Chains A and B, each alone.
Chain A
Amino acid sequence: MGTSSALDDSHGAVASAVRREGDCIRLSGALRTRDATVLWAALREAARDVRSGTRIEMDMSAVPAVDGDVMALLVELRGQIAARGAQAELTRMRQPVAKLAQLYAADRTPVAARGARQEGLVAQVGAATLAHVAHVEQALDFLGSLTLAGFGGKRRSRAVRWGEIVSLVEKTGAEAMTIVLPVVFVVGFIFAYATADTLKQLGQRLLSPTMVGRAMARDVAPVMTAFIVAGRSGAGFAAEIGSMKIDHEIDALRTFGLQPFAWLVVPRTIALVLVVPALVIIANFFGCAGGALVGVTRLGLTLPVYVHALRSAVSLWDVGSGMIKSAAFGLAIALIACQQGFAVSGGPEDVGRRTRSAVVTGMFFVVVVDAVLTVIYESFGG
């Protein structure tokens, strides 16, 4: 059995310390991962003014035990000191610590001191400025870590990952955009074309922009966009989550105390609730442009007349009601796709089956939600 008695104090109070004495950084106490934030700030502070050409000793004689993460940080610090043209060494390590140092290659000399090379004036000014910024950052970090340590150090895992949401919005938006825009343009064109002759016979040419504009804003653009998002992002979500499930990545997430729902479903849902309405705004313009092409070429309307007719016919509520629908479509598509992904069991063939099902069910629910919201709007007089 390999437990050293020195490791048994793991439940004691923070007893580690970092002290700079001339060319020696003296470490003492057990260096634990849970104190790593404070230790790292203290280590960098202690090594702040190490100048090129000096040799720094990191005295480990008063350290009974080191956790792996802290050993990795000690090695990193040694590398940073070496990069400044100085030298640093871990010395007087006790036995289990020395063995660990070997594992982390802390006993090997770091490769060539990068900072020793003579640099040009601009580079030097740049480096000095960066160093100054780094020092300010270090000071703030240190202050921050002390404050956090005061509150118990370790925070809880984040509930919402905004960075992930931003990248999902970019990805899903860009994926759908290239198909949505040409499709709604053509649909607007076809719609106007199919009704053009009838309107001409009735002498109601100006009704064309009204019909195209209102239909586009209220239903056509939201539904077409949602169908395409269901086909691209919905399928993508189901396949991605399904693969993660069969590769045990979801299990791995859980063993890190991370919740798959918060981690995978929440960001994807928020992303689609934002993306579908945003796409619909742009799709409205393209759909109307398709209609305008027919207006100008087949109905003899000028572009300013067409635009004027559109603006007076399409109300803010027409656009707004379409946006509300779009957000609801995004919500439905994301939830269905994620649910299908989590429902994958067995092998890769089930990923394919669930992916298809995510698209079909997603489209079906888009139509259902559209019908329900249309009825609700009508009952409120809109």
Chain B
Amino acid sequence: MEPERVASRPIVDVRGLTIGWGDRVVTRDVTFHVDRGEVVAILGESGSGKTTLMRFIIGLEQPLEGVVDVAGRGHPDLEQGLPPFGVMFQSGALFGSMTVGDNVRLPLREWTDLPPDAITAIARGKLRTVDLEDAIDKLPAELSGGMVRRAAIARALALDPELVFLDEPSAGLDPRTEAEIDDLIVTLNRALGVTIVMITHELESVYRIADRCVVLDARSKSVLAVGDPRRMRDSGDPRIHAFFHPAPVSARERAPR
């Protein structure tokens, strides 16, 4: 029994979760939890099912087996109104027919009674936090990939959810923007107490901002490890060690015979 789980109920609790469709299992027996106020990273090589795992946790798909509880409300039922979290999809998934501002305004219009000027003020404020205030009247097609992702973060935060899922918030960004996104995540977490579950490839980011991480393994279709990434880096387990110290292909080829 982990001691911190006694103190308060975890905001995300995944137990024995098997994900996939029909006979096709993507990952089996996933067990981990996220406490309130934590930053947890989901790691794994491409194809290990990170995004799929997120889709199952947030209620876009139904698990084959196992239990998911989010914010004490069980497996999220997206038919039953506003879920208690925000989501940033890998592609951004901004509504292409709406301006960036309208994308952020949409959840506020649908779920609050705020007057239009207040909604616009909030949308502008959210976009300011991701340094996109000037793009409020632009269409998503006019933005770069990094800008789309930042706008998507602003939209996910529109209603100030206590929990946010971010799918690769900084993939493919330049190092400076990547560091800015990391800072934003830390600020959201520290100043607002937002719990963050993020999928990422950037190990440096993980060491910098994640409290814990979940590592998925594509070959065994299961969880390789759960814990503090800084400790895992020095793990004696060769598979975990290999994940945190990826050797370039050329180096592997030149390895002693």
Contact = CB atoms under 8 A, between A and B. Distances in A.
Interface of A: 1-4, 7, 10, 33, 36-37, 40, 65, 67-69, 71-73, 75-76, 96-97, 99-100, 102-105, 141, 144-145, 148, 153-158, 240, 243-244, 247-249, 251-252, 254-259
A75 B157 contact: no
A75 B121 CA distance: 8
Nearest to A1: B37
B121 A72 contact: yes
Given A2-B37, A254-B60, 9 more contacts: A2-B186, A40-B115, A69-B122, A72-B121, A96-B190, A99-B187, A144-B113, A156-B81, A249-B96
Contacts of A1: 35, 37-38, 211
B165 to A, nearest CB: 8
A248 B96 contact: no
Contact of B78 (A102, A156, A255): A255
Contacts of A249: 93-96
B82 A257 contact: yes
A240 B80 CA distance: 26
B220 interface: no
Interface stretch (B12-20, B83-91, B235-243): B83-91
Contacts of B129: 68, 103-104
Given A154-B113, A256-B106, A100 B191 contact: yes
Chain A interface mostly: helix
A76 B187 CA distance: 21
B191 A2 contact: yes
A164 to B, nearest CB: 10
Given A69-B159, A248-B93, A252-B87, A103 B191 contact: yes
Given A68-B192, A99-B191, A255-B60, A75 B125 contact: yes
B216 interface: no
B83 A67 contact: no
A249 to B, nearest CB: 5
Contacts of B125: 68-69, 71-73, 75-76, 104
Contacts of B58: 255
A148 B37 contact: no
Contacts of B115: 37, 40, 141
B89 A257 contact: no
B73 to A, nearest CB: 12
Contact of B160 (A67, A154, A243): A67
Nearest to A144: B113
Contacts of A157: 81-82, 110-111
- The residue in B37, B86, B184 that gathers the most chain A C-beta atoms within 10 A of its C-beta is B37
Contacts of A67: 160, 192
- The residue in B107, B124, B162, B191 that gathers the most chain A C-beta atoms within 10 A of its C-beta is B191
Given A2-B191, A257-B81, A247 B113 contact: no
List the 8 closest A-B pairs by CB distance, nearest first: A72-B125, A3-B37, A76-B121, A2-B190, A257-B82, A99-B191, A248-B93, A252-B93
Contacts of A40: 114-115, 118
A252 B125 CA distance: 21
Contacts of A10: 162
A249 B114 CA distance: 25
Contacts of B157: 68
A202 B34 CA distance: 88
